[in-house]
Structure 1
């Protein structure tokens, strides 16, 4: 069982409480900022040509306007998501037509073929969606995956061994 995903530093600051030290928060904020490209995401020609996907893209663009974690790196996932919304709606319409066809078909074999078609299309969509989500997480193509990639603790400076500290003090240096 995995733990909860890390919250962005900006959200932790807004909440006003955190178990992280100031140094840890500073380190995380620096790491988060290094993930931004400073570019904006653009609508693909395929999304622009699809009225349902285009409407979803415009909705997301409006929502993402004030979120700094979404930028040009997220362009592909956003466009894929918009096309997926359109495909889901088209699939739902197709299944509804198939269900209406089932009511009109009297032959059992024809009904079974229609049921198999519905199940096959549903299965393919679910497998494709699952593959996309796994790939996007592995390649840090979504904001959550990028935030999870940031180490929770800042890198600590290596401590000197007891012998090295002793020798440093003996040579007139100060022990850390």
Structure 2
């Protein structure tokens, strides 16, 4: 069975760059869901999907689907988790759907993820995209919601500081260990 890690942080922290580098090194990565839900809804003409009542449920459903895919190596890294979706619901002041509450309970009971969460700290600036439209101040506020949510469920946050990408990737690799199953 694969060891599964969560890599998270606020929007604009540099998670995606770290994950692409890990993937290029053979690490099995589970893609995050919020960006894809936003992009799909925007493609459907919904300018600000995060204002829709079903937004949080849509993210949770996609996360559950992606997390159910069998791991392909000894280690798998998830780009965010259901706890991140809870933090997002609280940050946006959305009601927390029962699906999310039940799924977090199941996730915790199963011990699916390592208790050490790889928490990517903000870089000190934000590069906005069509999907990411958040200020640095708001991202810093959102970061606090993430920290509080993970700590509430007893996870240990291992901080990945604002360093050059190669150093951040090396730090993550040292924490997750070998990525291939021994033959």
Q: Which has the higher contact order (CA 8 A, sep 6+)?
A: 2
Q: Same fold (TM over 0.5)?
A: no
TM bucket normalised to smaller: under 0.3
Structure number with larger C-alpha Rg: 1
Task: State the TM-score, normalized to the length of structure 1.
Answer: 0.26
Task: Name the structure with the higher helix share.
Answer: 1
Task: State the TM-score, normalized to the length of structure 2.
Answer: 0.25
Task: Name the structure with the higher strand share.
Answer: 2
